[in-house]
Amino acid sequence: MDNYQTEKYQTEKQLLADAILMLERAEVIDFNGHFSWRIPGRDQMLINSGKSVRSALTARDIVTIDFDGNLVEGDAVPPMEFHIHAEIYRRRADVSSVVHSHPLWSTLFSMTGRAVEPVIMQAAVLGEIRRFGKTASINRKPLGEELAEALGPHRVIMLKSHGAVVAAEGILETFVLAFYLEENAQRQYLASQLGEPMVLSAEQVETIGRNLWKPNLLQKVWDYHAGKLSRESPASP
**Does residue 113 or residue 183 have the better pLDDT?**
183
CATH number for the domain harbouring residue 147: 3.40.225.10
Give pLDDT, residue 4.
52
Residues 180, 175: Cα–Cα separation, whole Å: 9
Total of domains in the chain: 1
Give pLDDT, residue 14.
95
The answer as to whether 237 is a domain residue is no
The answer as to whether 28 is a domain residue is yes
Digit-coded pLDDT (tens) for 153-192: 999 999 999 999 999 999 999 999 999 999 999 999 999 9
The answer as to whether 110 is a domain residue is yes
Q: 3-state SS of the chain?
A: CCHHHHHHHHHHHHHHHHHHHHHHHCCCCCCCCEEEEECCCCCEEEEECCCCCHHHCCHHHEEEEECCCCEEECCCCCCCCHHHHHHHHHHCCCCCEEEEECCHHHHHHHHHCCCCCCCCHHHHHCCCEEEECCCCCCCCHHHHHHHHHHHCCCCEEEECCCEEEEEECCHHHHHHHHHHHHHHHHHHHHHHCCCCCCCCCHHHHHHHHHHHCCHHHHHHHHHHHHHHHHHHCCCCC
Domain containing residue 104: 3-230
Digit-coded pLDDT (tens) for 122-155: 999 999 999 999 999 999 999 999 999 999 999 9
The answer as to whether 236 is a domain residue is no
The answer as to whether 115 is a domain residue is yes
The answer as to whether 212 is a domain residue is yes
pTM, entire model = 0.93
- The separation between the first and the last C-alpha atoms of the chain, rounded to the nearest angstrom, is 24
The answer as to whether 235 is a domain residue is no
Digit-coded pLDDT (tens) for 210-228: 999 999 999 999 999 999 9
